């Protein structure tokens, strides 16, 4: 199994616009549940700590295999989400790693 973790900071001119952008990112990624073969688990969390070095949002997902993760990257539903979010992010960090089941 492959764990795929992505963290973002999102753009926004004020707290209200950042909040709307965070809600949009969360909603869009959660819409992928059950739509992508090999995507076993997906959750999206918005940071509550508000510490200065924290990211705004995290995507935690599990894939059946490296091939399933690679297929996800090119899947039409994932590409739809990427288009919907445009350039909302101001920073992005990613870690992918394999674990034994």
Please, what sign has the CA dihedral across residues 39, 83, 5, 100?
positive
Q: Can you tell me the mean pLDDT for 49-53?
A: 93
Residue bearing tokens 């909603």: 27
Q: How far apart are CA 69 and CA 73, in angstroms?
A: 6
How do residues 34-45 score in pLDDT, each as one tens digit?
Answer: 999 999 999 999
How do residues 52-66 score in pLDDT, each as one tens digit?
Answer: 999 999 999 999 999
Which residue has better confidence, 89 or 63?
63
Taking the CA of residue 20 as centre, how many other CA atoms within 13 Å lie in the half-sphere pointing to its CB?
5
Q: What is the set of domains in the chain, with CATH numbers?
A: 2-98 (3.30.70.100)
Whether residue 68 has pLDDT greater than 80: yes
Largest alpha-carbon pair distance within the chain?
43
Note the pLDDT of residue 25.
96
Note the pLDDT of residue 101.
75
């Amino acid at each position: 199994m492959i764990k795929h973790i992505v963290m973002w900071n999102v753009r926004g001119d004020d707290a209200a616009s950042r909040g709307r952008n965070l809600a949009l990112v969360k909603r869009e990624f959660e819409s992928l549940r059950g739509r992508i073969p090999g995507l076993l688990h997906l959750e999206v969390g918005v940071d509550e700590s508000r510490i200065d070095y924290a990211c705004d949002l995290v995507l935690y997902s599990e894939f059946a295999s490296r091939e399933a993760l690679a297929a996800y990257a090119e899947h039409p539903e994932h590409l739809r989400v990427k288009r919907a979010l445009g350039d909302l992010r101001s920073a992005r960090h990613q870690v992918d790693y394999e674990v034994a089941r």
